[in-house]
């Protein structure tokens, strides 16, 4: 590893502020990737700025690597943020510091963690291995031209990531409480049942689709999907909308639709759930149309050297024993899990996506130290080509 500019970014605050001042509301970049790349170049990284736009507007991504030998320990994250929304007491892209807190959209999710990782690398003196960053501008959006495309690019060039830490804000209230070692899968379904429009006074001349739609929904929600598994909480199906769009009181509608989401554990796959849904619909639904979208399958990284190195670093720096959890929504870790062991650990999640999003500056310094200690452990031995830090399924 190069040691050029090794002390240039040892304090994460300055870089975090520079990133927050880029109003990179997805899918816009607003210079955030350039700010990060410029910092990494000064630390000796080789940077590849990758733009993909096959599925919509052009998305800027960055892959940067310091070192050439293995293991390659990667940090993954995103520079795009959600819209700021109303009711801020400070400008959302000013990166104000008040009372020991850094305010701004993206402070917690997750520009602060990116800055902490860069600061951690600037303090390293490793003898072996490589450090890389995979940073997308498409995590808060459709996630089609971001991490997935960069992983495909890496695979095409024969470059391997041996393990990965995703810097999502995983801690519920206090830094060090929780590492995410897996996630449930997510399946979105829109179901439309068709009938025959008619007058409510002459139902024998019409075919009301609403009772059949309700029968399908009742059957799908009649029993729990499961009672959980060794690493996961129970799966759940939640109806998110039921729509008829009928502006009158005397017309039987032609169609009725519903949307629902299933968050599923490792006792299911999206394919097995869709088969079940189709069977219920065919039994009860009549003339229907089913549209589905899979955001990701469930995955788990079994406890091993990666989670152990991070847990030990948390105990050393924060004095806590972190919970190894699979709770919460989805993240780009679902894509990375197909390529290498991956865990998630970042700042406190309390204010992410909220007005006045902020993080404690003291937490940023502690997170920097945690990343540094974990990296030093993961890079303490040269790769022998026979083992990887963890196993994922």
Structure tokens at 213: 């739609």
Q: Measured on CA atoms in the order 267, 271, 277, 282, is the torsion positive or negative? A: negative
Q: How far apart are CA 113 and CA 107, in angstroms?
A: 8
* Helices and strands (H and E) in the chain: how many: 9, 19
| Residue 122: Cβ within 10 Å count | 24
Of the residues 29, 30, 139, 177, only one is catalytic, namely 139
Give, as one character, the DSSP assignment of residue 234.
Answer: P
Of the residues 29, 30, 80, 177, only one is catalytic, namely 80
For residue 299, what are the contacts with CB-CB under 8 A and spacing of at least 6? 182, 183, 266, 333, 334, 337, 392, 393
C-beta separation of 298 from 228 below 8 A: no
Would you call 323 a catalytic residue per the annotation? no
Q: How far apart are CA 32 and CA 22, in angstroms?
A: 5
Structure tokens at 346: 């970042």
Would you call 139 a catalytic residue per the annotation? yes
**b/e burial code for range 287-321 (CB count within 10 A of at least 16 → b):** ebeeeeebbbbbbbbeebbbbebbbebbeebbeee
Q: How far apart are CA 175 and CA 319, in angstroms?
A: 10
The full DSSP string for 21-49 is TS--BTT--TTHHHHHHHHHHHTT-EEEE
For residue 155, what are the contacts with CB-CB under 8 A and spacing of at least 6? 339
Q: How far apart are CA 189 and CA 261, in angstroms?
A: 6
Catalytic residues, by residue number, are 80, 139
């Amino acid at each position: 590893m190069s040691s050029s500019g090794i002390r240039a970014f040892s304090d994460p605050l300055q870089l975090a502020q520079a990133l927050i001042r880029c109003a990179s509301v997805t899918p816009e970049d607003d210079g955030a990737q350039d700010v990060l790349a410029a910092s990494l170049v000064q630390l000796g990284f080789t940077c590849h700025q990758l733009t993909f736009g096959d599925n919509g507007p052009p998305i800027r991504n960055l892959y940067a690597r310091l070192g050439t030998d293995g293991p390659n320990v990667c940090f993954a994250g995103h520079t795009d943020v959600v819209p700021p929304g109303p009711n801020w007491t400070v400008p959302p892209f000013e990166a104000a510091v008040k009372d020991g807190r850094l305010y701004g959209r993206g402070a917690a999710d997750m520009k602060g963690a990116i800055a902490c990782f860069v600061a951690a690398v600037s303090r390293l003196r490793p003898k072996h291995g490589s450090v890389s960053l995979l940073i997308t501008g498409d995590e808060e959006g459709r996630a089609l031209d971001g991490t997935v495309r960069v992983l495909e690019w890496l695979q095409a060039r024969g470059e391997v990531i041996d393990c990965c830490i995703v810097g999502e804000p995983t801690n519920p209230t206090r830094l060090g409480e929780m590492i995410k070692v897996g996630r449930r899968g997510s399946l979105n379904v829109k179901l439309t049942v068709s009938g025959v429009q008619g007058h409510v006074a002459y139902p024998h001349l019409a075919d009301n689709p609403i009772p059949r739609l309700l029968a399908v929904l009742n059957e799908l929600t009649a029993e729990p999907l499961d009672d959980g598994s060794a690493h996961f909480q129970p799966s759940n199906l939640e109806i998110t909308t039921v729509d008829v769009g009928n502006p009158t009181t005397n017309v039987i509608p032609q169609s009725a639709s519903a949307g629902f989401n299933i968050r599923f554990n490792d006792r299911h796959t999206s394919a097995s759930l869709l088969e079940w849904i189709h069977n219920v619909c065919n039994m009860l639904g009549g003339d229907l149309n089913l549209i589905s979208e899979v955001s990701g399958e469930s995955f788990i990284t079994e406890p091993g050297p990666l989670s152990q190195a991070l847990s030990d670093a948390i105990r050393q720096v924060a004095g806590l024993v972190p919970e190894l959890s699979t709770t919460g929504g989805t993240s780009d870790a679902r894509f990375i899990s197909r390529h290498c062991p991956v865990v998630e650990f970042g700042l406190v999640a309390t204010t992410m996506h909220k007005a006045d999003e902020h993080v404690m500056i003291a937490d940023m310094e502690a997170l920097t130290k945690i990343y540094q200690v974990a990296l030093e452990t993961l890079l303490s031995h040269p790769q022998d080509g026979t083992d990887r830090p963890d196993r994922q399924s």
